[in-house]
Structure 1
């Protein structure tokens, strides 16, 4: 093998030579080496972007990435970054019967995909607390002084205005929605209160607010909003399915071609408050339901797309809440006992020495029911099964099939492929005292409730004083737990006809560590067209907008490709430069060696002399 002397490139004291076929390999890497180096740089860059931004190049989103991205949304409890210019805000004021509460929501700019909904979440302050404020009493107390309505609501809006960047106020939608307390007022009084709000709020605040943004919503609307809110937080509207996840096949309402979609199974909602009870769940198009019990709506931003078209059965039952049911039950006891005493000349319940026996109160609990003018003394016998039996007539069931409370129609439920979440009393009855919240098991629940009812009141008080029950459980809960346990059981199994072996009901207060309110569903529904507006505005900006929109999806990929080619080109140019330098040096050192190098001829092996 020939050798080449390169002593001319180094100080004169250095003299050594290399085999003639080694130097070109050192100066000019092979194509495979260049390709390997480029791919290595590409992969390292992709890994860096994934670790730093959480995204793969070009916005690639696999099933797993989408799943983790969704988890990040629903569990997001970090402080809201008010300095983020791409963050949008919205306000919902819930004007209830006992008070009013403002909720501040926020969401990032829509990603441009018309198949996805806005990523709405509650705004959180520096302490990571939800930005919420509540005042009392309810706005319905202003029935005689409607001109004070705007003064009443002013503290809530001032509180919200301080948390939202001032330059964002003009584009922040404000909704003031009134519920049960306002519904019971005469229409003239309702309108007087609403008109004062419509007139004065724009004078003091610069929020995005119009006449249609303040109204008294129906029980049906409230039920639909609650259904939307829980399913949104659960991720049921994200149709990217994961392996093993429950799905349903649905007929899209309004589709002339009987379009069928397979998507995530949505969850039904059961809610029992103090006054009313509510049920809501999705039903197929093949199920005929009266219009007053049905809500058909499109949550998507494009009315022509059917991805988010839903058909929900929702029914509200006034007087079937836990407290209202107890009041109705007591009134019935007073009426029947008073009539019987007069008819037979008896004095049951008139004194503590001759109390009326009540199976729905814990054993030996003494109580008084009725008004001072018509009062009865009762004594609990703690018989859960007997309590259930005496409560059944209060459900107002009929013998007709597919009916529920008060004979109201209820579509058939596919119990083998359904899931329900129970809120308010469904949770309190199972958790506060019995400590069984979460997955509902009818037989275990009934056994625990039966044991509680049969326990002596004295023992229950001792347990309460020892702190064995939930921290927010009070004496009122302790007294009426037996009654409410039986009432909840009967409403669920006799009223709504859930089978005793139903396994897919969860009783909850928080979902992903967050209290889910119907106001979330309200703002999601009422802002559903905002993404379409943004998409249309972007498309009207022309080529520049198209480039910017495209760049938002593939910028990482383009950036990496450009870097890759720049690196490869730089390496090639650098190697070519070294080669030219070598040729010039070789010519100065040994002109006759140039042909020898180009022809690749061998040379005798020579030692390297240092």
Structure 2
């Protein structure tokens, strides 16, 4: 039996709707593919030449999104073998050679065709700042050897430079807030917007030779030497930043030992002096050479004449005496009666907001299992209890941490002294500090902010929303297809059911 005229009409309409819908869907799938498939990737390399070691970081970002926010991610973190480059004064060539291992790892990760266009930087921090003060010619030779090795590598090497303390802190502040999306956000209304200032976080960094504090205060910054100004995505920021040279973990430990040493002239038949260290665990005993201790520019006293070349150190396990010794490293009296002063006469405006504490802040507290938001009372009790443990018990409990094990007590008590008595955190503001190694899968530090700044990847104006607009067009098209198909099918149904005259 043949089709009725109504069935024929319906068949034709449905066929047309199907053909139209399929054609439109193919077109939008092609557009969607161009949006959703990953774009070509670009890479950047930054060496962090710190006082105790050098680290390499590789960052990557989609090539067609260079001026958008939140697109840079960390692709590799590598720690170079050996100490920091400032340690190679006797053989500067080794400073450059020490970078080759990590550089080879980076080049293996980055496609060979992109090596020549990969911007590569080296920034040296407090270790080289100290060496530059002590012996500028030695520092220049080390920089020359580092530049020689990196210039010979198949990358776009853009220089090795000494990073000022102010910049080290400020770039770390950019890194954290960039990764957390606190500089720019995309709203539901389809516009870029500056997040509320309350979402900005401060940066607390501690390396081997210096420690930095950076944040946006609630009022003006009255000391121009502590002010870093940026225009990021069309918004102006005035960041307070200060670096305390000689207050990094390693230099504090050296200064502490040098201050505690009551060197005794070697007696007949003896080859070392003897000192009891309140920050070392009871039962700990070691012999250390004295000369390297007094070579640091941070130790302002010289080795006493007639002193033994070596020193035998015994632990006392006395956290109260340890805190007293640590306090002697600060000049708190220089800030008496001043609300905007920390120690050693350093200006600091009133703190506000949350803070991320990283590097040695994090590593020390992570070892002590204190990175989960514990109260200040719990933190204090935990550090003091650890300091009072006998050395034999500590050795057995933490065999994998042997190289730094004797120093975690002093480091923990130093961090508490610095944060509470130095920077001015209190029991009420303590919960605002988060101890973190990473944010958004990226290691926290100055390197990402440094690269973003030098490659101009953070524009002064908010980025255009071409890609988001494409998504909107795509979604609107899908809706239009649905409405069109619905209208056709509705019309067909009406024609089929409408009675003949």
- Specify the alignment match of 2:316 in structure 1: 381
* Cα root mean square deviation, aligned: 4.7
- The separation in 1 between residues aligned to 2:77 and 2:385, in whole angstroms, is 42
Find the partner of 1:419 among 354, 374, 399: 354
Q: After TM superposition, give the deviation of residue 196 of structure 1 in Å.
A: 6.9
- Specify the alignment match of 1:235 in structure 2: 181
- The separation in 1 between residues aligned to 2:409 and 2:146, in whole angstroms, is 44
| Correspondences of 1:487-506 after superposition (within 5 Å) | 487-501=414-428, 502-506=430-434
1:161-213 residue CA offsets vs partner (Å, 9 max, x unmatched) = 44333443454322232333433235555556656777886675363x55xx4
- Specify the alignment match of 2:405 in structure 1: 478
Q: After TM superposition, give the deviation of residue 133 of structure 1 in Å.
A: 6.3
- The separation in 1 between residues aligned to 2:55 and 2:312, in whole angstroms, is 39
Tell me if the contact between 2:285 and 2:314 (Cα under 8 Å) persists in the aligned partners. Answer: yes
Q: Is residue 517 from structure 1 mapped to residue 424 from structure 2 by the alignment? A: no
- Specify the alignment match of 2:455 in structure 1: 527
Q: Secondary structure at the match of 1:528?
A: coil
Tell me if the contact between 2:50 and 2:208 (Cα under 8 Å) persists in the aligned partners. Answer: no
Q: Is residue 180 from structure 1 mapped to residue 126 from structure 2 by the alignment? A: yes
TM-score by length of 2: 0.74
Q: Sort the Cα spacing of 1:297 and 1:533 in 2 relative to 1 into closer, same or farther, 3 A.
A: closer
Q: Sort the Cα spacing of 1:241 and 1:357 in 2 relative to 1 into closer, same or farther, 3 A.
A: farther
Q: Is residue 163 from structure 1 mapped to residue 109 from structure 2 by the alignment? A: yes
- The separation in 2 between residues aligned to 1:351 and 1:199, in whole angstroms, is 44
- The separation in 1 between residues aligned to 2:438 and 2:459, in whole angstroms, is 29
- Specify the alignment match of 1:265 in structure 2: 199
1:488-542 residue CA offsets vs partner (Å, 9 max, x unmatched) = 2111111111113421112223334553332122122223357689989xxxxxx
Of 139-148 and 493-502, the range deviating more from structure 2: 139-148
Tell me if the contact between 1:87 and 1:109 (Cα under 8 Å) persists in the aligned partners. Answer: yes
| Correspondences of 1:82-121 after superposition (within 5 Å) | 85-111=39-65, 116-117=68-69, 119-121=71-73
Q: After TM superposition, give the deviation of residue 218 of structure 1 in Å.
A: 1.4
- The separation in 1 between residues aligned to 2:493 and 2:252, in whole angstroms, is 88
Q: Sort the Cα spacing of 1:328 and 1:239 in 2 relative to 1 into closer, same or farther, 3 A.
A: same
- The separation in 2 between residues aligned to 1:437 and 1:549, in whole angstroms, is 39
Find the partner of 2:230 among 272, 297, 300: 297
Q: Sort the Cα spacing of 1:85 and 1:437 in 2 relative to 1 into closer, same or farther, 3 A.
A: closer
Gaps of at least 5 residues in structure 2 are: 189-193, 291-306
Q: Sort the Cα spacing of 1:533 and 1:135 in 2 relative to 1 into closer, same or farther, 3 A.
A: farther
Tell me if the contact between 2:89 and 2:142 (Cα under 8 Å) persists in the aligned partners. Answer: yes
- Specify the alignment match of 1:330 in structure 2: 257
| Correspondences of 1:212-227 after superposition (within 5 Å) | 213-227=159-173
- Structure index of larger Rg: 1
Q: Is residue 459 from structure 1 mapped to residue 386 from structure 2 by the alignment? A: no
1:551-581 residue CA offsets vs partner (Å, 9 max, x unmatched) = 73444135425634764687599889x99xx
TM-score by length of 1: 0.62
- Specify the alignment match of 1:409 in structure 2: 347
- Specify the alignment match of 1:360 in structure 2: 279
- The separation in 1 between residues aligned to 2:396 and 2:499, in whole angstroms, is 104
Gaps of at least 5 residues in structure 1 are: 1-6, 11-22, 60-80, 124-129, 243-249, 251-260, 466-470, 537-545, 580-596, 602-610
Q: Sort the Cα spacing of 1:534 and 1:160 in 2 relative to 1 into closer, same or farther, 3 A.
A: farther
Tell me if the contact between 1:317 and 1:405 (Cα under 8 Å) persists in the aligned partners. Answer: no
